[in-house]
Amino acid sequence: MSHIDSLAPTLCTALATEIRDVRTMIEQLADVLACDEYLALKYTEQLQAFDLLVQRISETAGLLDRLAEGISGQDAVAEIRLEVMQRRLQDVLKAA
């Protein structure tokens, strides 16, 4: 195993933490925007996109955590709760 391979779990965990920090920032921004009545009424659908972003970010961070724990790629992807995202990543694994 090369040195980079031995660092992969640590890097995956660190990336998951970074991704969760981004998720928190997006949630805070969404909260600020949603508190503005004008924006909330005029841009309801666009503001809902923040929720999907947060979900995808959370699933990505969780996937990295599972990989860092040594779970196989297929099993780690199988635990993704967003069906469309899970399907896309399963297709990537099948094509590899």
| pLDDT at residue 33 in the model | 95
| pLDDT at residue 2 in the model | 59
Q: How many beta carbons lie within 10 A of that of residue 61, not counting itself? A: 21
With a CB cutoff of 8 Å and minimum separation 6, the contacts of 47 are 30, 33, 34, 39, 40
| pLDDT at residue 6 in the model | 86
Given phi > 0 = left and psi -120 to 50 = alpha, else beta, which region is 70? Answer: left
Q: How many beta carbons lie within 10 A of that of residue 90, not counting itself? A: 15
Angle 41-45-49 (CA atoms, 0-180°, nearest 5)? 125
| pLDDT at residue 62 in the model | 98
- Taking 70 as the pLDDT cut, the residues of the chain under it are 1-4
96 three-class SS: coil
Average pLDDT of the chain, as a whole number = 95
pTM of the model: 0.89
| pLDDT at residue 3 in the model | 63
